[in-house]
Amino acid sequence: LETSKAFNFCYKTPFGLIRMTAVEVPFLYVGTLISKNFVALLEEHDIFVPEDDDDDD
């Protein structure tokens, strides 16, 4: 038997936006921390130092 209901097919994660921001922002910060440590590592072992590299004007 056919009924003319309007089915809602789009799946929505409950508290979607909140969860998304809760994941994104901290991990962005984690990314910056990683890169800071990485830069410190490079500078310590003298692999790549930005001031030295900018000397070709």
Instruction: Note the residues at the interface with other proteins (CB under 8 A).
Output: 1, 20, 23-25, 27-32, 34-36, 38-39, 50, 53
Question: Which residue's CB is nearer to other proteins, number 18 or number 38?
Answer: 38
CB-side exposure of 11: number of CA atoms within 13 Å?
A: 1
Please state, in angstroms and rounded to a whole number, the distance separating the CA atoms of residues 9 and 7. Answer: 6
Question: Which residue's CB is nearer to other proteins, number 7 or number 27?
Answer: 27
Shortest approach of other proteins to residue 19 CB, angstroms?
8
